[in-house]
Amino acid sequence: MTAPEGIRREFTEIYEAIRHLTDAEILTGPEASFRPHFERLNRLVARSADDEMAETLRRNRSFEPVIRRISHLRRINGLRLELAFARSLLTAPDPWKQIEAFVYYPNYLELARMERQGGELRAGDRVVFLGSGPLPMSLICLCRQYGISGVGIEQDAECVRISDQLIGRLGLSGHIRILCGDHFSLPLSEPCKLVMVGADALPKAEIFAHLAATLPDQARVSYRIYEKGLRRLMDVRSDFELPSQFRKYARIRPEPPVNNTAVFTTVSRL
């Protein structure tokens, strides 16, 4: 069996084990039955693999439904984990101490550094994070590390409620606010230096079409993608064509422990 065939077989086995799961079962059901499969998936996508081989698998039309289903369920499982951690912070004696001990905290710190660098952000600037979720760590890190304020936009009412409470619990209500909405909530009335489109903000093509039509010239927009190895198979959401009104001006490749490439664009209708 060749390496691509072996990897495809592993993805297919995981698919067969989880494809029947509903979003509600993942979000609210007992995790014992599906957690081992997502842990196996995480180990699989973290495996070193040739980029060309990964791209060949990604473009295999018969394999595409498998990848799309797995990618969706992995995103829902990620939301489950974020919800659980955010809720734990609401009752933690010292939420900042718990955040600093969070296994992914170094990832968020590095992502914040990348956004600050690519967006050319300074203390006192404001950013908008579209699809901020229940755990708006990017906004939290930008605020705490660099003095950058932010607005999180999230369409799920429960995520808005939890994240708003969390921002208050962290003492950041004067610097970060959370709105219930989607991309049609943009542009906001107040100025912002950068619009950050979250990985889970969907559908990407519709979002960027709206931003291209409504944001002013020279407005800056960033998004994140996976470019390396098998992780790119899970990034079906970023497989879209950027509207012609956007010009890419920076691309910051990841440093460990981060795996995302941050892409920075500006609106240019000339």
Question: Do 60 and 141 have their domain in common?
Answer: no
Query: Do 139 and 7 lie in a common domain?
Result: no
Domain that holds residue 210: 99-267
Tallying the residues shown for the chain, one arrives at: 270
**One domain, residues 255 and 145:** yes
Which pLDDT does position 239 carry in this prediction?
72
Same domain for 56 and 185 = no
Same domain, 196 and 108: yes
Q: Give, in degrees to the nearest 5, the angle at Cα 127 between 216 and 91.
A: 150
Q: Please, how many CA atoms are within 13 Å of residue 44, restricted to the half-sphere of its CB? A: 26
Q: At which of 32, 65, 94 does a domain end?
A: 94
Examine the domain organization and report whether 142 and 263 are in the same domain.
yes
Residues in Cβ contact with 47 at an 8 Å cutoff, skipping those fewer than 6 apart: 7, 229, 230
Q: Are residues 59 and 177 in the same domain?
A: no
Q: Which residue type occupies 98? A: Q
Same domain (yes/no): 124, 225 = yes
* Residue-by-residue pLDDT tens, the chain, 270 positions: 557 789 999 999 999 999 999 999 999 999 999 999 999 999 999 988 888 888 888 888 899 999 999 999 999 999 999 999 999 999 999 999 999 999 999 999 999 999 999 999 999 999 999 999 999 999 999 999 999 999 999 999 999 999 999 999 999 999 999 999 999 999 999 999 999 999 889 899 999 999 999 999 999 999 999 887 898 888 876 678 999 999 999 999 988 889 899 999 999 977
Q: What is the pLDDT of residue 238?
A: 66
